Amino acid sequence: MFKLSSSFFILLLFLNSVSCSNSNVKEVIFKRNCEKSIARVSIQEVAREPGKFNNKHFEIIRFFHGGFEKSAIYSRQSSFNESRAIWLNFSEFDSLYRIDSTEIGFDYAKLDDFSSYHIRIVGIFDSADRGHLDQYAGTLKNICLFAVSK
């Protein structure tokens, strides 16, 4: 049987923690100023009890998947279980901005560039609106922050 040395195991833990880091912001989209105190919730909490979060303003950090009829956040980068995901409503956006405030215009195709990235997003949850084909846990609307990590 194969036995791992403790040094090798510590190295694996370190590499995993570095690869999961989301502190390097690549792009930011602003719609409006966010409220000062926003609760951070997990996608699992929201998917488990969507009614509990209805009309609540919160922040969530997870994986974004953008594309035709697929603008949502998921708990895992490779898991596309819509019933455990949150649909994102970008209809209020009129422009995207880089982190240096350079305007890049709004285009749904631009959101596709951020697919599979870790994102930080703030908005108001609507449990009655279940997104495309009513297959999501709910919809995040009135999005005021969309930050994409490298």
Condensed to tens digits (0 to 9), the pLDDT of residues 11-41 reads 333 333 333 333 455 666 555 677 777 899 9
Question: What's the pLDDT at 30?
Answer: 56
Question: What's the pLDDT at 86?
Answer: 95
**Residues facing 74 on adjacent strands:** 63
The conformation of residue 67, written as its DSSP 8-state character, comes to: S
Q: How far apart are CA 43 and CA 103, in angstroms?
A: 30
Provide the sign of the torsion angle of the four alpha carbons 133, 31, 29, 15, taken in this order. Answer: negative
The conformation of residue 71, written as its DSSP 8-state character, comes to: -
**Residues facing 86 on adjacent strands:** 73
CATH of 24-149, one of 3.40.50, 1.10.3470, 2.40.50, 1.10.10: 2.40.50
* Residue of higher predicted confidence among 69 and 86: 86
Residues 6+ apart with CB under 8 A from 100: none
Domain positions in the chain are 24-149
Condensed to tens digits (0 to 9), the pLDDT of residues 110-136 reads 777 788 888 899 999 999 999 989 999
Look at the block and give the residue holding tokens 């697929």. 70
From the CB of residue 137, how many other CB atoms can be counted at a distance below 10 Å? 24
pTM: 0.73
Residues 94, 106 contacting (CB under 8 angstroms): yes
User: With DSSP H G I counted as helix, E B as strand and the rest as coil, what are the percentages for the chain, rounded to 5?
Assistant: 25, 30, 45
The conformation of residue 106, written as its DSSP 8-state character, comes to: -
